[in-house]
Structures are given as C-alpha cells and as structure tokens.
Structure 1
Amino acid sequence: MIIIIKTGNKNQLLIKVLSMLSLLLLFGLYYNHMSSKFQDQNNALINKLDNVIVKKEIDKSLNIEKAIYKEAVVIVNLLEQKHVQSIKIVKNKLYIICDYTTDIEPLLIRYGVAAMIKNTNKNIQIAIDLKTIVENKYEA
C-alpha cells in the first residue's frame, strides 16, 4: 500500500488569497462609487430644496411689501393727500407726518388704539405698527 500525502500547493493558496483580495477590492470600489453617487444626488436635492425655500421667502416678502405699500396709499387717501407731509418706514413702524389741521378721525376709526398719535404745534405725527398692518392685510 502506497500512501501519498499531498501538501498544500503554494500557488493555489496564493491564487485563493489574490482572488479574495481582488474581490474585496472590487466591493470596496463599488461601495465608494455608489456612496459618492448617492451623496451627489442628495446634495442636488438639498440645493433644489434650498432654492425653492429661498424663492418662497422672496415671494412672501414681496407680498408683505405690496400689502404695506397699499395700506400706505389707503392712509394717504384717508387723510387727503394735500395734508400729508411725509411717510417713512423706520424699524417696525409706519410714520406719517401731516398738517396740524388734518382730520384724523378716519384713521382713528380704521386703526383705533393701534395708531399712536402725537400732536405738536406744527404737525401731527402718527405711528402705526407694521405688524398690525401685515396681520390684517397679508394673512387675511
């Protein structure tokens, strides 16, 4: 009886190790490629959403600005244009300066206590909070 003992062939072991390493390398490269692809898609989606949000904010601010402008026109019409000296927006208030002889009753009826009025010898100064105007006109 003849017994043959086969020893591990170094070439076969080397081929197995190299094939496993190449397989792991391919999986790693595929993973990196797909993760970068998904990251690019995610960044594109985030940029698109940011653009939409910015556009909505711009549209909202333009609508608020239009509402404030229209309300200023209404105020000038209520006080009669010839009596109004100036209109300014400072911080969160709409300031109207008009002649001392101006009838401010229509303005008091429209705004009530929201219109802060200061009488001087030369003119009447009226301050209206912009928050009140926006709440009444824009959101309605």
Structure 2
Amino acid sequence: MDTNRKKRILFVCTHNSSRSQMAEGLLRALLGDHYEAFSAGTEPTRVHPGAIEAMAEIGIDIRNHRSKGLSFFGDEPFDEVVTVCGHAQEICPVVPGTHLKRHQGFEDPATATGTEADVLAAFRRVRDEIRAWILETY
C-alpha cells in the first residue's frame, strides 16, 4: 500500500444534505493534505441552506456541493466509510473496496424547529461537534 497516498473517506447520511456534507467540507479543509473527503446519501435530496450558511461562517464554501447517492461512486474504493446518522448506519450497504466502516452519529440539524436563528444555531452546534470529532479521530 502506498503510504504517501491520501486516505479516501466517504461520509454517508440519509439525504446527503447536512451532516455528511459538513463532514466532507470539514475534513477537506482541516486535513486535506492527508485525506480525500467525499459524501453520499442513501436517499439524496439537496444540500441544506443551513449547512451552507453554517460552513460559510467558518470560511468553508460548500455552495457548489450537490447531494449524491451511493451509486454515484460506483465501485470506487474507500479506506473508510463513516455513517453519520442512525438510518444510514442501519441500511448502508457494504461499499466495495472499503477497508473500514464506522458509525459516528450526530443529531440532524435539518429537523430543528423555531426561529431562523434557532435553526441556524442547531447547524452551528452540529458543525462544531463534527469538527471536534474529526480532529479527535483523524
């Protein structure tokens, strides 16, 4: 195995709209010298505006990200697949060529209710939890 090769990490959640998108953007921004980050959903929809705004606040632009299904990657190999929601953990199929599958669940900020400020606060909190987990794990 090439030890100089960047490890390929795929983050998976249900809709590929918030948690997995933020995880992809954070890993790429924080540790992109060592990792290639990707994200997908078991039922992809769209990237949530709250995720885009929360990430922009810390200087990470995910405006051009798009929600993708697992089939988008075909048989591409990954060093690790990380499910970031319980639903994805339950139904995520085996991804061919994956060396490690792990689960690290985060609350879905897209389900937050209240004012616009309340919803954005939920996205910020989850963003920060994902950031802390990435820095502890990788």
TM-score using structure 1 length:
0.26
Query: TM-score scaled to structure 2, two decimals?
Result: 0.26
RCO higher in structure (CA 8 A, sep ≥6): 2
Compare the two structures and name the one with the higher helix fraction. 1
Larger radius of gyration: 1
